[in-house]
């Protein structure tokens, strides 16, 4: 039952070329940076990744993109990654776009043994009708597009059939984990992490705090250890910020700028 692995390098050692990875995170929030860096150092290539946005330029999964290790990604939002756009449009990367909610449910379905489901999301668009560019050639010509999907009417509403997603490995990040693999995620870092963990046949969790079994109250467990096969404690967890949106504090007594709110004592 003790699932702790001494290092990230040992945890990812059996991830072979051509593997499919379900990776948690949203932007740079809740990303398993340690496992990704270990995979980069290992040299694994030809990867297919399932993630919300496949990294942010040269951070998170972006480091694997820049190193040419990813050949296909199944993602929802790719507009924040210039290298992904370059690889995609030059024929070096296959991209399967899927609506964000559908991506989440496809992962959850894969983790619970549901092969497919119907959703109204995407009906009447290229998501259902097919034709979204999946691969370009080196000259920028579209050489492969998404196929049409089954659409079925229930009551007075049309629904499109989406298939489940599973992966060879799930890579996730948690705030707290015990030796049995029970995980607790911090606030919005929960995002796609539980879903990626559920979809992985072998799931590896890097945790910021490793505790003993029983220290996490059962009602506080966000993801039970049945979905996790390996646990790695990260001693210096990275928490990069994608975009800073704060502004300098005003000195006491300084009038508020237009749009600011002030409170009189």
Secondary structure string (H, E, C) spanning 61-111: CHHHHHCCCEEEEEECCCCCCHHHHHHHHCCCCEEEECCHHHHHHHHHHHH
Strands (E), 16-75: 20-23, 47-50, 70-75
Specify burial of residue 237 (Cβ count, 10 A radius: 0-12, 13-18, 19+): middle
pLDDT digits (tens, 9 = 90+) for 185-239: 999 999 999 999 999 999 999 999 999 999 999 999 999 999 999 999 997 766 7
**Would strands 167-178 and 157-163 be described as parallel, antiparallel, or unpaired?**
unpaired
pLDDT values of the chain reduced to their tens digit, one per residue, 265 residues: 899 999 999 999 999 999 999 999 998 999 999 999 999 999 999 999 999 999 887 889 999 999 999 999 999 998 878 899 999 999 999 999 999 999 999 999 999 999 999 999 999 999 999 999 999 999 999 999 999 999 999 999 999 999 999 999 999 999 999 999 999 999 999 999 999 999 999 999 999 999 999 999 999 999 999 999 999 999 776 677 776 777 777 777 766 555 454 444 3
> Which residue has tokens 């993109």?
65
Specify the pLDDT at position 190.
95
Specify burial of residue 249 (Cβ count, 10 A radius: 0-12, 13-18, 19+): exposed
* Structure-token pair, residue 155: 């009551």
* φ, ψ at 163 (rounded to 5°): -95, 155
* Structure-token pair, residue 259: 């749009």
Nearest to 149 by CA among 160, 163, 157, 159: 160
Specify the pLDDT at position 246.
76
**In whole angstroms, what separates CA 208 from the centre of its chain?**
18
Q: Which residues contact 82 (CB under 8 A, 6 or more apart)?
A: 57
pTM listed for this prediction: 0.89
Specify the pLDDT at position 237.
65
* Max CA separation in the chain (angstroms): 66
Specify the pLDDT at position 256.
59
Specify the pLDDT at position 263.
43
């Amino acid at each position: 039952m003790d699932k702790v692995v001494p290092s990230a390098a040992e945890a990812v050692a059996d991830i072979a070329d051509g593997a499919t990875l379900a990776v948690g995170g949203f932007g740079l929030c809740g990303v398993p940076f340690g496992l990704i860096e270990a995979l980069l150092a290992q040299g694994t290539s030809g990867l297919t990744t399932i993630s919300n946005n496949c990294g942010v330029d040269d951070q998170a999964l972006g480091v694997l993109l820049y190193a040419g290790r990813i050949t296909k990604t199944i993602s929802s939002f790719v507009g924040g990654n210039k290298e992904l756009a370059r690889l995609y449009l030059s024929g070096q990367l296959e991209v399967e776009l899927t609506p964000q909610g559908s991506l989440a449910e496809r992962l959850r379905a894969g983790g619970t043994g549901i092969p497919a489901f119907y959703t109204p999301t995407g009906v009447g668009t290229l998501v259902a009708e097919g034709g979204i560019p999946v691969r370009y050639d080196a000259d920028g010509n579209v050489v492969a597009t998404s196929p049409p999907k089954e659409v079925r009417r229930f009551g007075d509403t049309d629904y499109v059939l989406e298939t489940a997603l599973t992966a060879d490995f799930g890579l996730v990040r948690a705030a707290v984990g015990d030796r049995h693999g029970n995980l607790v995620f911090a606030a919005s870092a929960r995002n796609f992490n539980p879903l990626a963990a559920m979809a992985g046949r072998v799931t590896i969790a890097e945790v910021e705090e490793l505790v003993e079994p029983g220290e996490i109250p059962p009602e506080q467990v966000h993801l039970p250890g049945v979905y996790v096969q390996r646990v790695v404690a990260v001693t210096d967890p990275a928490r990069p910020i994608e975009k800073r949106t704060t502004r300098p504090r005003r000195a006491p007594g300084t009038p508020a700028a237009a749009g600011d709110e002030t409170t009189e004592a």
